[in-house]
């Protein structure tokens, strides 16, 4: 099947309030433009260099999501245009994003990456670390970032009960934050979880943003 058919099929399965981020990493501009011409606007990349290069070549109304691990020294290449940064996992990074956003006179939407997988290879903060961070004094001074919610990646496993439990853990952390630290903020409303292999589970468990690559663009050869 082609890219447009894949997108149509997914769009039918995903409720309207869930954003489908088409993960175009490693894929050429022509493929992105196929999706674009079909009306798709949200795309995700995981490498700063690729993201910046694609943004320069492709239409201006694309909403670019940075979904990969972001190093502080590369933030500056994204801050003029990035729509959302999904993988914020330290106060240091958040401060750099804030500084660069200020230079660009922007407020940048960010998600805190929470570690939910049992594997210890994946990035992210623990629930406690998130709380510590948002309660710290310097966090309160950041005016050019807006924390919109949380992001996570489940373990790489066939065990759907385990994946479901990890998603629930993320949702619980989100709900706790929403009820406490972010209780006066309407815009704390995003849960980014679910990929090609587990997006259906993710939607059932309350995801508001699924990040799907291979089901749209085909498998990747690195």
Ligand X SMILES: *Cc1c(COP(=O)(O)O)cnc(C)c1O
| By CB under 6 A, residue 157 contacts ligand X | no
* CA nearest to 74, candidates 62, 85, 63: 85
Task: Give min distance, CB of 218 to ligand X, in A.
Answer: 9
| By CB under 6 A, residue 212 contacts ligand X | yes
What does the block give as tokens for 22? 């088409």
Task: Give min distance, CB of 153 to ligand X, in A.
Answer: 6
CA atoms lying within 13 Å on the CB side of residue 135: 8
**Residues 182-211 interacting with ligand X (rule: CB under 6 A):** 195-197, 211
C-alpha triplet 121, 124, 125: angle, nearest 5°: 130
The residue (of 41 and 69) whose beta carbon lies closer to ligand X is 69
Distance CA 171, CA 27 (A): 31
**Residues 23-42 interacting with ligand X (rule: CB under 6 A):** 23, 25
| By CB under 6 A, residue 67 contacts ligand X | yes
Give the 3-state secondary structure of residue 95. Answer: helix
The residues of the shown chain that bind ligand X, judged by CB under 6 A, are 23, 25, 46, 67-68, 153, 195-197, 211-215
């Amino acid at each position: 099947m082609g890219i447009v058919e894949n997108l149509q099929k997914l769009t039918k399965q995903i409720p309207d309030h869930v954003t489908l981020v088409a993960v175009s990493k490693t894929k050429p501009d022509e493929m992105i433009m196929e999706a674009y011409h079909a009306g798709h606007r949200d795309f995700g990349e995981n490498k700063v260099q690729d993201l910046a290069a694609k943004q320069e070549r492709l239409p201006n109304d694309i909403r670019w999501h940075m979904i990969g691990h972001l190093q502080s020294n590369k933030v500056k290449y994204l801050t003029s245009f990035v729509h959302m940064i999904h993988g914020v996992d330290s106060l240091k990074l958040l401060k750099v994003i804030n500084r660069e956003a200020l230079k660009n006179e922007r407020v940048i939407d960010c998600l805190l990456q929470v570690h939910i997988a049992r594997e210890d290879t994946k990035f992210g903060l623990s629930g406690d670390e998130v709380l510590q961070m948002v309660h710290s004094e310097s966090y309160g001074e950041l005016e050019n970032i807006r924390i919109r919610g949380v992001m996570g990646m489940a373990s790489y496993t066939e065990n759907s009960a385990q994946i479901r439990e990890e998603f629930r853990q993320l949702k619980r952390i989100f709900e706790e934050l929403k009820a406490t630290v972010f209780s006066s903020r309407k815009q704390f409303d995003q849960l980014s979880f679910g990929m090609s292999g587990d997006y259906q589970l993710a939607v059932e468990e309350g995801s508001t943003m699924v990040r799907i690559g291979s089901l749209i663009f085909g498998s990747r050869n690195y």
